[in-house]
Amino acid sequence: MNIDTLELARTEGRAPWTNVMYDTRDFVVFEDAYPVTEGHTLVVPKTNTQEELLKCFKFATAMGNENVQAENNITGYNIGLNIGASAGQTCMYPHVHLIFRRDGDCSDPVGGVRNVIPGKGNYRKELPDDYKYEVDFN
């Protein structure tokens, strides 16, 4: 059985990332080319297996926790994985997003990752049909 790899995905154009932050035995950490927030990173397994992807999640969680505890303006983080075009995946090799959050970076963060479906994130209140999720990139 052939296992998909980051090296193969790069040669096929499915893994376009170039800004390497860390290169480990099991995964590579890249700066996101289109960051949602400052410091948005991608943790990409060198081998496309569940075991290697779990290592990426573990690292992203540790990196997120370290940054929240450090002396900086990071107050939270989101971790996400898009699999399939219907989930918004555009680079067709698995990669874990680590998105650092700061107080006030959006008008209403309630619901966090639930906001991938517009209008469904904040389960605490009724939202109008024209609800728009706003992010302040400054």
For residue 137, name the pLDDT band (cuts at 50, 70, 90): very low
What per-residue confidence (pLDDT) applies to 111? 82
Same domain flag for 116 and 61: no
Find where tokens 């960051």 sit.
35
CA atoms within 13 A on the CB side of 35: 17
Same domain flag for 94 and 26: yes
Residue 46 β-bridge partners: none
Distance CA 16, CA 69 (A): 31
Same domain flag for 65 and 26: yes
Same domain flag for 99 and 125: no
Task: Tell me the two tokens of residue 13.
Answer: 């154009």
What per-residue confidence (pLDDT) applies to 58? 98
Distance CA 99, CA 77 (A): 5
- Element of type H or E holding 97: strand 96-101
Distance CA 66, CA 20 (A): 19
The domain total for the chain is 2
Check: CB of residue 42 under 8 Å from CB of residue 97.
Answer: yes
Q: What is the pLDDT of residues 99-119, one digit of tens each?
A: 999 999 988 888 888 777 666
Amino acid at 26: D
Provide the domain limits for residue 34. 6-105
- Residue 1 belongs to some domain of the structure: no
What per-residue confidence (pLDDT) applies to 135? 46
Q: What is the pLDDT of residues 62-88, one digit of tens each?
A: 999 999 999 999 999 999 999 999 998
pTM for the complete prediction?
A: 0.84
Q: What is the pLDDT of residues 12-64, one digit of tens each?
A: 999 999 999 999 999 999 999 999 999 999 999 999 999 999 999 999 999 99
Task: Tell me the two tokens of residue 48.
Answer: 């496309």
